[in-house]
Copies of this chain bind each other. A is one copy, B any other.
Amino acid sequence: MDDPADHLKSIADLARLAGVSVSTVSRALTGKGALNKGTRARIQALADQHGFRMNVAAQNLRLGRTGAIAVLLPMGPERGRQLADPFFVTMLGCLADALTDRGYDLLLSRVVPQGDDWLGSFIRAGRADGIIVVGQSTQSAALDRAAAHYRPMVVWGAGSADNMHVTVGTDNVAGGVLAAHHLIARGRRRLAYFGAVSVPEFAARHQGFLDGLPDDLRDEVDLVPTAMTPDQSFRAAADYFAAGHRPDGVFAASDVVAMSIMAAAAEQGLRVPQDMAVVGFDDILLARFAHPPLTTIRQDIEAGARALVDLLVRRIEGQNAGTVQIAPELVVRESS
């Protein structure tokens, strides 16, 4: 069974051993095509007796497919730590599971979006049967251009009516509304939003937040723009508090940002939630164990990953399936 000497490296070797033709072996091992029960069993027995596995690459070449789905992570200029973002990482794990269940391999590729045709070039290399793009959607022009000629591609992010490409994403506007209603219900009136605004999904969270407020408060909300990394959001929050701002309710565009804000607040002696309520977005693994445990808008990552894969598979099969939105959910803990 694991004698290294008897190394069968192709179905031809196995065919010779079994005294049959290669196509018979092929039929026996794939289970496709008509074949005598007996010979099929005999060949299968022989195969795993010798630990033989067919060469997937050759099989795929012949079938005109690759058996793999590429997950593309377009990287921003701040190359490096991006994949450390707990949200993306969890998404990746769920995608791996969903794709495995469908019989696909997951080809992970971090790409630097540059040149006019980085995506088209990747597509034409034919390394994958389909593409899932995960990242902050600042590349929608490139995505649209590719989507015009290439169908098996789905994108995680903020869908927009005028996108050519299909997306799956949390309803960020609805999430912002949830946060607004919650803070209002907690009696908070001096409000602030922390997060990126140039990236569509975060802009939508901000917009939803404003939408959810009563008219008289909407113009009073502080907008504190910041990159979504722990360092930068910590700095933004520290500066903001140092400048004397004292909001009593804060909505952060992600849990990482929320936790950084709480760290900065603690340094200033601000108590959460007494002096200031904090609401995050994502519900990452550590949110429950933040100090204090973080109230947040939960994204159902697992459902998102499944939806991405379902949609992609349907498009690979030629169906014309379209954009999906996933409802966010308020999770109340002790930070608010």
Given contacts A234-B289, A289-B260, contact A58 B55 (CB under 8 A): no
Question: Is the C-beta of A163 less than 8 angstroms from some C-beta in chain B?
Answer: no
B110 touches A93 (CB 8 A): yes
- Nearest neighbor of A230 in chain B, beta-carbon distance: B289
Question: Is the C-beta of A66 less than 8 angstroms from some C-beta in chain B?
Answer: yes
> 10 extra interchain contacts, Cβ-Cβ under 8 A, other than A53-B121, A92-B108, A256-B285?
A1-B117, A51-B121, A53-B124, A57-B126, A58-B61, A68-B107, A83-B93, A84-B284, A105-B108, A259-B286
Chain A interface secondary structure, helix, strand, loop or mixed? helix
CB distance from A39 to the nearest CB of B (A): 22
Interface residues of A, CB < 8 Å — how many? Answer: 64
Number of copies: 2
A90 touches B84 (CB 8 A): yes
B57 touches A289 (CB 8 A): no
Q: Select A106's contact among B53, B108, B263, B286, beta carbons within 8 Å.
A: B108
Given contacts A61-B58, A120-B2, contact A230 B285 (CB under 8 A): yes
> Which of A's residues lie within 8 Å of B, judged by CB?
1-2, 4, 51-58, 60-61, 66, 68, 71, 73, 80-84, 86, 89-90, 92-93, 96-97, 100, 105-110, 117, 120-121, 124-127, 145, 148-149, 230-231, 234, 256, 259-260, 262-263, 266, 284-286, 288-293
A52 touches B110 (CB 8 A): no
- In the assembled complex, the Cα of A1 lies from the Cα of B68 at a distance in Å of 27
